[in-house]
Amino acid sequence: MDIYEGAYEKLKNVENKREGVDLDDFEEFMRKVEEVNKMVHALTSNNKAEIEEASKNADAWLKNQKKKKRNDRDLQEEVINEPHDKFESKKLFNKTVINEKALNNNNNTSDEKKKCQTFDNLNCDEMSQEAFMRTVEEDAKKRAQDRKERKKESDVIKAQACKAFSSKDYEKALDLYNKAIDVRKDSYILYNNRALTLLNLGLNSRALKDCETSLMLNNDNNFKASLFKGKAYFKMGEYEKVKSWMEQVVKMFPNKVQEIKDYQDSWKVEDD
């Protein structure tokens, strides 16, 4: 059970013990929790396209929620100004806080309130949308900072690997590229570089897998991975696959037909 499913069960227990909570509003709140859960999972994907799409969806979702929050605040101000007896037969559900009692409890200290406003302490009664969104935003910032640090670390290792490759020390280059990819698994460039290193070591099936991973991470303009994949097929003796794949590459990069032909000719020279 992940953190959001756990939150749902805890909140459901709270809801079952209380009166005056609008079930439709409660289910709407949990639907939003599920939406964010899916976006968070998508942001951790190894697929670059999925990450970019999830980031766009998350930005749009946050913007929409902030707009709704302003509208809710305006509505609540209107309700306060209405005659009290108009609402005697119906308890209002505050959309930003599930536990109404927590709003009227003056015994809570500021520290206790802070603890109640996170998903890290699900024993607290108060669970607000505002606290939830703050948690999501903080998590997004943390992930962005983590990606930045991982890129910096992997770039240092990649520079060392490139130097080893240039010196034709392919085994050392491979070891370094392995380490760089361990640090940063979402870089198609690292997979391209390791694929070429593997081809030089004669580890063709492994090179093919790296090319496919690279193309999965970036299939829009990944010329090198496309060429390396064709070379891997060639060195594996899969000539029918070479023909079929390179025809696709020509269609994908019609402005680089001569470069593709020259690269294919170089395979034959190496093979001789």
pLDDT of residue 268: 78
CA-to-CA dists, residue 220 to 7, 41, 83, 209, 271, angstroms: 39, 23, 61, 18, 30
pLDDT along the chain (272 residues), means of 10: 48 47 60 70 66 72 68 57 48 44 49 47 53 77 85 94 96 97 94 97 97 92 96 96 96 95 87 61
Q: What is the pTM of this model?
A: 0.55
Do 132 and 69 touch, CB atoms closer than 8 A?
no
- Exposed / middle / buried, residue 15 (Cβ in 10 Å: 0-12, 13-18, 19+): middle
Domains in the chain, start-ordered, CATH in brackets? 3-141 (no CATH), 187-271 (1.25.40.10)
Distance of CA 31 to the CA centre of its chain: 20
pLDDT of residue 131: 75
**H/E stretch holding 182:** helix 170-183
pLDDT of residue 141: 82
Rg (CA), the chain: 28
Do 207 and 199 touch, CB atoms closer than 8 A?
yes
46: DSSP letter: S
Do 121 and 115 touch, CB atoms closer than 8 A?
yes
Q: At 127, which amino acid appears?
A: M
pLDDT of residue 23: 56
- Interhelix angle 129-166/170-183, rounded to 10 degrees, is 170
pLDDT of residue 133: 74
